[in-house]
Amino acid sequence: MKKERLMGPDIVRTFAILFVVLLHSTEIFGVSGMFFNSVGGYFSLFARCFAITCVPLFLLLTGYLQCNKTLSKSFYKGIIPVLTGYVFISVVTLLYLPEHHELYRPTFFDGVKGILDFTANPYSWYVEMYIGLFLLIPFLNLIYNNLNSKKHKLVLIGTLVFITGITDFIISFSKEQSKAFITLDYWKNFYPISYYFIGCYIREYQPKINKKLHFAALFIIPALISLGIFYGFKGSYLHSWTLSGWTNITIVLLSVSFFLFFYDIDIKNKFMRNILSDISQRSFDMYLFSFILDDMAMRFFVEKGVAIEQWYIFIGLPLIFLSAYLLAKGKQLLFLLVRIYKVKFKK
């Protein structure tokens, strides 16, 4: 009997890709560089609190789903779909850019170099990071699974969260980036491993929470964070280091809270299961395709000379999300046709 697909991870991944689009939409229509003097500014900041959890949710899912993987040939084959999808969408991006950016005329070798150094698609920094994390997964699992107790695993996670997140946490409420009195900047780039181990821990111990209280907290905590930042920066602009990184301990707690609320939820409705499952499986492609769509949105406003209003996010967000999904479905269909052709050709 075929094992039924877990819906909790699909729900989390669907929110994660939605938050990716929301995060980029707040850059286009909302909060980045905003002068804080309006209610709209506050709600844009509130939306960004949720949106910033997008990458942490993906990393938590990686730990949750990959925590039992071991060194094997079949494991390493798992990176092939990621690489083929990345190369294909990078080529599409390279074909798009010269048509819409007159000063950008890459040669063939520039394109190859861009794919190899992960600059062909500006959003592919995540692919570069994920490849390294993927290659480490069997060894990270050896470390985690050989710790003797739940306490030791919590100490490992707590240590990683502290050394990767303390600096950004301190400076996030400061108007001067240099005011952090505890600086462990060197370790900030280890944040994917922090989230990976938290995902492993959740998979192993399956913590249960009070859903009603947790649901309220999911809105109250971001509301308070947004309020603190809003009034702290009222009459000035949001700085680039405020609420902008995934290492910040505040973002870690919010991301884990969001994950815990949804990871064990099940949905019985077959239609909803199919929709969420399909979006979840297309999320990687949607993420990379969204660069083209974000760029098109930005260019539309610049070329038309239209003043960007915050409320445009209510139109732009669903349009970009749906368009990214349709592009991802188109890629899926194309790859399917190629596989069918190859099978027929071999016969």
pLDDT digits (tens, 9 = 90+) for 186-201: 888 899 999 999 999 9
Closest CA to 317 of 27, 118, 3: 27
pLDDT at 160 over 60: yes
Quick: pLDDT tens for 20-70: 998 888 777 655 555 555 666 677 778 888 888 999 999 999 999 999 999
Q: What is the structure's pLDDT at 226?
A: 76
- At residue 246, the pLDDT reads 82
Residue 344: is its pLDDT beyond 60?
A: yes
Q: Is pLDDT of 241 > 50? A: no
Residue 317's pLDDT band (boundaries 50, 70, 90)? confident
The residue among 102 and 58 whose pLDDT is bigger is 58
Cβ atoms < 10 Å from Cβ of 220: 10
| Rounded CA separation 123/251 (Å) | 21
pLDDT, greater one: 80 or 6: 80
The mean predicted confidence, pLDDT, of the chain is: 84
Assigned token pair, 96: 């798009």
Q: How far apart (Å, rounded) are the C-alpha atoms in residues 236 and 104? A: 35
pLDDT at 1: 45
Provide the token pair at 216: 């309220």
291-313 pLDDT, tens per residue? 999 988 888 776 666 556 666 77
| Measured distance CA(115)–CA(121) in Å, rounded | 8
Q: Looking at residue 121, what is its pLDDT?
A: 92
Instruction: For CA atoms 124, 125, 126, 128, give the dihedral sign.
Output: positive
> Distance between CA 332 and CA 342 in Å, rounded?
15
Mean pLDDT of 246-270: 89
Number of neighbouring beta carbons within 10 Å of residue 344: 8
The sign of the CA dihedral 319, 324, 325, 327 is: positive
As a whole number, mean pLDDT of residues 211-217 equals: 83
pTM for the full predicted model? 0.89
| All structural domains of the chain with their residue ranges | 7-346
Q: What are 237's strand-pairing partners?
A: 35
Mean pLDDT of 309-326: 84
